[in-house]
Amino acid sequence: MINYCISPSGKLSGRIHVPGDKSISHRALMLSAIAEGQSRITGFLDGEDTMATMAVFRAMGVEIQHSSENEVVVDGVGMEGLTTPITALNLGNSGTSVRLLSGLLSGLGIECELVGDDSLMSRPMRRIVDPLQKMHASITCSKDGTLPIYIKGGASLTAIDFEMPVASAQLKSSLLLAALSANGRTCIHEPVTTRDHTERMLKQFDYQIECEGSTIALTGGGVLKGTSIEVPADISSAAFFIVGACIANEADIIIENVGVNPNRDAVIHILREMGADITLLKEKVVSGEPVADIRVKSSELHGIEISESLVPSAIDEFPAIMVAAACAIGKTRLTGAGELRVKESDRITAIVNGLQTLGIDVDEQPDGMTVTGGLISGGEINSFTDHRIAMAFAIAGLIASDPITIKDCSNVETSFPGFVDVAKTAGLDLVVEEQVYNV
């Protein structure tokens, strides 16, 4: 078991770089694999989740070269070139991988089983499986609605006109990837606009897709063309240092080349509404994605009512945002975030438990929480093996009165390899403690 031990320290400073965007890295690999011709991906996230995606495509016959410079070259096999794997495809802890692959593989003529680690095996999958079945995919999950997922080759998918029951970029993307091999025109209607990385990337691969308001449509049977993709730094990873600089004393940092997709940057809007001093520099568009350097200085935060319209675009950043709320003056109320309960952990309970351990007054609700800002003390935090919970409470150590120990942080490597080194470089007093258990 890997634990983080953080001693109180006062500030963050300097220029830092966080790893490539996980969501974009996954999608770049998947579309490169089924494109015609070679694709080159730079800035790729070398995390455990994306490595799991890479491994399953290699198991299906795709040649992938991966250098040590976060660069990946994929020799695409086209929509009909994947081969049936000889063993189950293990996606580790990656919910994004399994949900997107469920859609992508449903119409590609192969037979496979999707599995994962203990955490992933317990996460809900009917939200994906049921609409794919409506497209006539031969796909099933366990009777409990969890992994394993079984996909039987040979199904001929039919286009669907689908009203999304919840705002979920993973569900939307799964259906769009299935629609690539479906007969006819698939239309997906979102209740609230979610991250649009799949739509933007399909255009980079020269696939025609229509996006108008909350409706996305594409016609199956087209061809993706190999291309070059530059992956920006992940705003979900940057969020920990954005919050850290806001709450620390005399902080001033620049986080370089971060993706600021308007459907992903709600963390910036929320923190600015709380009083954060955040500036975007060198704004540009790279491979269809908006990118900027983010400068953050120490800020005096105040509590707010977080708009439910911003929740889907900040869903992965709430562990960090609620640490900011714990350091703000007054109350911060989060509602409409029930999706947090079905992430790598029940993040609502994990955040509430962690903040209460550190002496913060928190009222838990079914779809969120109310946090009353106060003084953060020390204590021992249960990460519930959730990478974002671990990193969020590590950042809380910047302003704690006493040391904080965070238990079981090994899964940080799924999304942010090198987190400890970046945190130390920026100014966090963090020590890694390894515990070995004899069996």
Give the max Cα distance, the chain: 61
Give percent of the chain above pLDDT 70: 99
Strand, coil or helix: what is 191?
coil
Digit-coded pLDDT (tens) for 253-288: 999 999 999 999 999 999 999 999 999 999 999 999
Predicted local distance difference test score (pLDDT) of residue 229: 98
188-205 average pLDDT score: 95
| pTM for the full predicted model | 0.94
What does the pLDDT average to over 122-132? 95
- Rounded to an integer, the average pLDDT of 317-332 is 98
Same-fold call for 2-20+232-434 versus 22-230: yes
Q: How confident is the model at residue 9 (pLDDT cuts 50, 70, 90)?
A: confident
Residue 386: pLDDT over 90: yes
Cis omega before residue 19 (within 30°)?
no
- The average pLDDT across 347-372 equals 98
Cα 160 to Cα 92: distance, rounded to the nearest angstrom: 30
Q: Which residues contact 281 (CB under 8 A, 6 or more apart)?
A: 254, 292, 293, 294, 295
The answer to whether the Cα torsion of 292, 298, 299, 303 is positive or negative is positive
Distance of alpha carbon 397 from alpha carbon 390, whole angstroms? 11
Please report the pLDDT score of residue 400 as a whole number: 96
User: How much helix, strand and coil, in percent to the nearest 5, is found in the chain?
Assistant: 35, 30, 40
Assess whether pLDDT exceeds 70 at residue 149: yes
Buried b (16+ CB within 10 A) or exposed e, 258-274: bbbbebbbbbbbbbeeb
Within 8 A by CB and 6+ apart from 334, the residues are 306, 311, 318, 321, 322, 325, 368, 369, 370, 371
Residue 355 pLDDT grade (very low, low, confident, very high; cuts 50, 70, 90): very high
- Statement: residue 141 has pLDDT above 80: yes
Lowest mean pLDDT, pick from 161-170, 198-207, 292-301:
161-170
Does the pLDDT value for residue 439 go beyond 90?
no
Give me the active site residues, please: 316
Backbone angles phi, psi at 185, to 5 degrees: -105, 120
Query: Between 3.90.700.10, 1.10.3720.10, 3.65.10.10, 3.90.1150.10, what CATH number should domain 22-230 receive?
Result: 3.65.10.10
d(CA 404, CA 363): 22
Give the model's pLDDT for residue 68. Answer: 77
Q: What is the side-by-side order of every strand in the sheet holding 289-297? A: 13-16, 252-259, 289-297, 277-286
Residue 410 has pLDDT above 70, yes or no: yes
pLDDT number for residue 153: 85
CATH 3.20.20.370 corresponds to the domain 2-20+232-434: no
Across 337-356, average pLDDT: 96
Residue 1, pLDDT > 90, answer no
Residues across the chain: 439
Q: How confident is the model at residue 437 (pLDDT cuts 50, 70, 90)?
A: low
Is the pLDDT at 436 greater than 80, yes or no?
no
**Burial class of residue 208 in the structure, from the number of CB atoms within 10 Å of its CB (0-12 exposed, 13-18 middle, 19+ buried):** exposed
Residue of 343, 49, 311 whose CA lies nearest to 194: 311
Q: What is the pLDDT of residues 31-58, one digit of tens each?
A: 999 999 999 999 999 999 999 999 999 9
The answer to whether residue 192 scores a pLDDT higher than 90 is no
Residue pair 159/135 in contact (Cβ under 8 Å)? The answer is: yes
pLDDT value, residue 438: 54
Mean pLDDT of the chain: 95
Domain assignments of the chain as residue spans, ordered by start: 2-20+232-434, 22-230
